[in-house]
Structure 1
Amino acid sequence: MKSIIVIGTLFLICNFSFSQMPFGGIEGLKDTSNFRELRSELKIQSLAIEFDSTYVPAYFKHAALEYQLGNYETCIKEQNDIIKRFPDYIKDAYTNRGMCYCFLKKYNQALADLNKARQLSPEDAMSYLNLAFVKSHMQEYQLAIFDLDTAIALRPDYAKAFANRAFAKEQLKKYKEAIEDYNKALEIQPNYPEVYFNRGYVKFIMNKPDEAIADYNKALAIFPNFSLSYDFYLYRSRAYEKKGDLVNSKLDQDIANELKKE
């Protein structure tokens, strides 16, 4: 079974909230090549806060950089400070703190914060997406689906919600329904690499190796960093093996083995 992985993070300056990627994905894609750049930007935001201690975007940007660096405890402390000092922005701070708690596996605290954020903005589809994200990490997939149903009802063009609901259905072995949701996500957002990869995995499970390989290749074409992933080559190797293409299966397995050593 694929792991629940977040591929990257996004800081939304418009509302100061962190956004998460779909549940499914590839392990080993954390790009350390830009850590120096992130730390440099962290210093810049620290200077901005020193220059103007009331400039809210700098606080959120600084916290987002800590989040991207995996410094979740530090990010939580910074969100606590925002909650105390800037009451107009507590919804975004609760959202961000909840996501940090999730990655620390403090799920009850994560849900408490995300529910506070949802109560402050009950018509925000992303609030339900975030709740579903935590519940999927808890392997409460049916509960995640309920939240994603709400997110989609609020925002029918929400590709990320369809992708996450597909992944939750995949975990419940509702493969046909998962494919339908992955297809809908791609209809809304055609260049969605995680969805191609996840759909490829489901097609592999459904004994459609040719279609699985096509989806894996499409994912790689859109997001070349998949070439750095042990899991990518492992899964594609298995699809080639199921197809009977032992040569390409071995080639991919050899690459996966080399990546695992790194």
Structure 2
Amino acid sequence: MLKKKLIPHNWIIILIWNILLISCDSPDTKKERYLLKGNEKLKENDTKSAIDFYGEALKIDPDFRDALFNRGLVMYQLNRLENAISDFSSILRTNPVDTLALFQRGVTYMDNGEFYKALEDSKTLIRNNPESWRSHFLEGLVLEQIKNYQESLTSFEKALELFPDNPEVLVNQATIFYYLKDFEKAEVGLKKAEKLDPTEANIFNLRSMIAFDRGELDIALTMINKAIALNSNQAYFYNNRGLYLIFENELEKGLEDINYSLKQNPKNLFAFRNKGIYHYFKNEKELALRYLTEVFEKDPDMELVKDYLEKTNNL
């Protein structure tokens, strides 16, 4: 015969009290508790559970701003850009001038290739919050993407007037100087940014690009490896390293990096270009033409594309 376990009387009181507390929770208390649980899971890098808890909070209150915003950020990090846009848009339906939601939606639109929607969000930010550096920064980022470099520089200059010691803006301004082939001005901005934040990975990524353009492959690889050591989650860094490795004749290592980058960001035309260059070096004419032609049709001014299309046609 099994011995029955007895629960002490005071334990029963505690259990009943806890049940009563839970049952008396208001909807606001419950949704806040789910939000906190989601935030804790996010700290643990458990994004799936974080999304689930934010979802539970939103079942209670579909307009719960903090849950929508945090879930949107997680979706953005996971490259689920349509989901992120949906969450930020839900916030903006309730509050059209929520500056953080507008900024994040603009960035997400931009990364999703919806440049003119991103530009519209930046214009809305500037109209409603002209004294915020972020408003002008977002505008500069989008103008950079549509290759309006001079106007992009103007936007970054306005952002720096409002926040002069901002390494993020300085790096992006230096990137425009890089595109304009003014490497000296780019280096000046990067030096200032590094003094402000020596852990900013994009500084070393841009230095790698400048070194590659100068034909300094060893320096390019050193710089891009430093960038990856500082931020191992950036798909563009792996793509750049893949290109440098190809030019170092480490073709398979280069392809591995490029494929990894594409897995993280399947819309990156630079990665398709680099795959075309890889196939050129492998003497695989048909595959090289397939990738390079696709990129050329979408962005005929991209560096290296036209050169390698001609070289591939001559194989």
Displacement of 1:101: 2.4
Q: What is residue 50 of structure 2 aligned with on the other side?
A: 41
Displacement of 1:236: 5.2
Query: Could you tell me which of 244, 255, 258 is aligned with 1:257?
Result: 255
Query: Could you tell me which of 184, 190, 200 is aligned with 1:176?
Result: 184
* Structure 1: stretches of 5+ with no match in the other structure: 1-35, 239-248
Displacement of 1:200: 2.1
Larger-Rg structure: 2
Q: What is residue 192 of structure 1 aligned with on the other side?
A: 200
Q: What is residue 21 of structure 1 aligned with on the other side?
A: none
Kindly indicate whether residue 65 of structure 2 is the aligned counterpart of residue 56 of structure 1.
yes
Q: What is residue 80 of structure 2 aligned with on the other side?
A: 71
The 3 A distance-change label for structure 1 pair 149 and 226 is closer
The aligned length equals 215
Q: What is residue 201 of structure 1 aligned with on the other side?
A: 209
| CA distances 1:72-131 after superposition (whole Å, capped 9, x unpaired) | 3333333332223245x5222322332232233332222111111122221111111111
| CA distances 1:159-213 after superposition (whole Å, capped 9, x unpaired) | 0001001111111111111111111111111112221121122133235455434
> Which SS does the other structure have where 2:188 is aligned?
helix
Identity of aligned residues (%): 23
Whole-Å separation in 2 of the counterparts to 1:166 and 1:44: 40
Amino acid at match of 1:164: N
Amino acid at match of 1:176: E
Whole-Å separation in 1 of the counterparts to 2:94 and 2:138: 24
Displacement of 1:134: 0.7
- Asked if structure 1 preserves the Cα contact closer than 8 Å seen for 2:88 and 2:102, the reply is yes
Whole-Å separation in 2 of the counterparts to 1:101 and 1:258: 28
Q: What is residue 106 of structure 1 aligned with on the other side?
A: 114
The 3 A distance-change label for structure 1 pair 259 and 208 is closer
Kindly indicate whether residue 241 of structure 2 is the aligned counterpart of residue 229 of structure 1.
no
The 3 A distance-change label for structure 1 pair 134 and 196 is same
Whole-Å separation in 2 of the counterparts to 1:84 and 1:105: 22
1:107-126 maps to which residues of 2 (within 5 A)? Answer: 107-126=115-134
Q: What is residue 155 of structure 1 aligned with on the other side?
A: 163
Q: TM-score, normalised by structure 2?
A: 0.60
More divergent stretch after superposition (77-86 vs 145-154): 77-86
Q: What is residue 17 of structure 1 aligned with on the other side?
A: none
Q: Which has the higher contact order (CA 8 A, sep 6+)?
A: 1
Amino acid at match of 1:79: F
* Structure 2: stretches of 5+ with no match in the other structure: 1-44, 261-315
Q: What is residue 137 of structure 1 aligned with on the other side?
A: 145
The 3 A distance-change label for structure 1 pair 122 and 219 is same
Displacement of 1:147: 0.5
The 3 A distance-change label for structure 1 pair 117 and 237 is same
Amino acid at match of 1:188: L
Q: TM-score, normalised by structure 1?
A: 0.71
Whole-Å separation in 2 of the counterparts to 1:84 and 1:220: 38
Amino acid at match of 2:163: R
Displacement of 1:231: 2.9
- Asked if structure 2 preserves the Cα contact closer than 8 Å seen for 1:91 and 1:116, the reply is no
- Asked if structure 2 preserves the Cα contact closer than 8 Å seen for 1:132 and 1:145, the reply is yes
> Which SS does the other structure have where 1:119 is aligned?
helix
More divergent stretch after superposition (205-214 vs 41-50): 205-214
